[in-house]
Amino acid sequence: MTPQALRQQLNQLKPLALGEFPTPLASLPRLSAALGGPELWIKRDDLSGLGLGGNKIRKLRYLLAEALRHKANVVLTAGAQQSNHARQTAAAAASVGLRAVLVLRGEAPHSIPDGNYLLDHFFGAEVRWAGERLLSPALHAEAAHLRQAGARPYIIPYGGSNALGACGFVAGLVELVQQAAPRELLFDAIIVASSSGGTQAGLTVGAQLLSLPTRIIGISIDKPAATFRQQLATLATETAFLLNSPATFAPADFTVVDSYLGGGYGVVGELERQAIRLLARTEGLLTDPVYTGRALGGLVDLLEQGTFAADARLLFWHTGGSPSLFAYAEELLA
């Protein structure tokens, strides 16, 4: 399939015109030199232009379009207190006139809001706390409560990662190919933080449908590879089906590196601290402590292990998240 044909297929889903796309594609010469090669590039989804940017805007273009088609007047999603996805959902909902309700993990903090949680308030989101409940049951319970109160809720899954949301990253892969073609760039691998799965699944579907030889490598943020690959395979198959493609995916189709889980989700260690400082001090760019900092740290370690050929051309897909830096100052300066 050609990029033009795949984009036409995606356009049939009528995504909203949210954010600023295409996001920049740039080289990282000073980082490449500091690491002794290979050639490194970056896809700047931190500059997607809505609510301080991030990769979730790509998914929300499709998800909020469906919410509006369903005549919803409130959207709900779930995440951690410093969730990038929750912050971007709140911003996107505000931009199209929808009420946003965020179900966040744990109990309400006693400290002054900071980072993403502060921005949730600016965007007018209503926050509910899951307490001891798991996020998914808490999210659906809140939706039921809203229905009983006469609202028309639309649930956006954790990370926006269902088949419709993943189409945003099929479109992202098309965007990358169309940016790279005039410069005659072909990437040997794309490295991306992978957690809820929609980003990696969407990129993999896009690469398959375009017959692109580029490897998609997910640095797992919080899941063991053995179970995560099955989740990715199911999501990718559902995404391809939504795009009227007969393609099916198996766990073996996904490269997931789970060597950098560290102390767990949101626990900042030396890997993240060093990676954040390295990119900031070589290129003047920021990564976040939970997702992109961990993924970049993983990439640096893979390079030091000699995983890639010296003449390889690699792309780091920056998924955003910089606002959460301000909530992790103590851990980052340790």
Tokens of 199: 């980003």
| Among 83, 161, 195, 324, the one annotated catalytic | 83
The amino acid that residue 163 corresponds to is A
d(CA 223, CA 246): 28
Let me know if 322 is a catalytic residue. Answer: no
Helix or strand run (H / E) with residue 29: helix 29-34
Tokens of 325: 């830096």
d(CA 295, CA 302): 10
Domain 56-160 falls under CATH 3.30.70.260: no
Q: What is the mean pLDDT of residues 283-312?
A: 97
Q: State how far the alpha carbon of 210 is from the alpha carbons of 11, 37, 190, 291, 324, in Å.
A: 16, 28, 15, 27, 35
- Which range, of 110-114, 168-172, 284-288, 292-296, averages the lowest pLDDT? 110-114
β partners of residue 189: 215, 314
Find where tokens 């926006």 sit: 160
The per-residue pLDDT for 100 is: 98
The amino acid that residue 294 corresponds to is R
- Per-residue model confidence as pLDDT tens digits over 212-257: 999 999 999 999 999 999 999 999 999 999 999 999 999 999 999 9
User: pLDDT-derived band of residue 166, with 50, 70 and 90 as boundaries?
Assistant: very high
The amino acid that residue 51 corresponds to is G
The per-residue pLDDT for 334 is: 80
User: pLDDT-derived band of residue 189, with 50, 70 and 90 as boundaries?
Assistant: very high
Domain 3-54+161-332 falls under CATH 3.40.50.300: no
The per-residue pLDDT for 142 is: 97
d(CA 320, CA 119): 15
| Residue 327 clears pLDDT 90, i.e. is over it | yes
The per-residue pLDDT for 124 is: 98
Which residues in the chain are classed under CATH 3.40.50.1100? 3-54+161-332, 56-160
d(CA 202, CA 54): 16
The per-residue pLDDT for 310 is: 93
Question: How big is the chain, counted in residues?
Answer: 334
Q: State how far the alpha carbon of 99 is from the alpha carbons of 76, 77, 90, 152, in Å.
A: 9, 12, 8, 10
d(CA 149, CA 94): 21
Tokens of 264: 């767990």
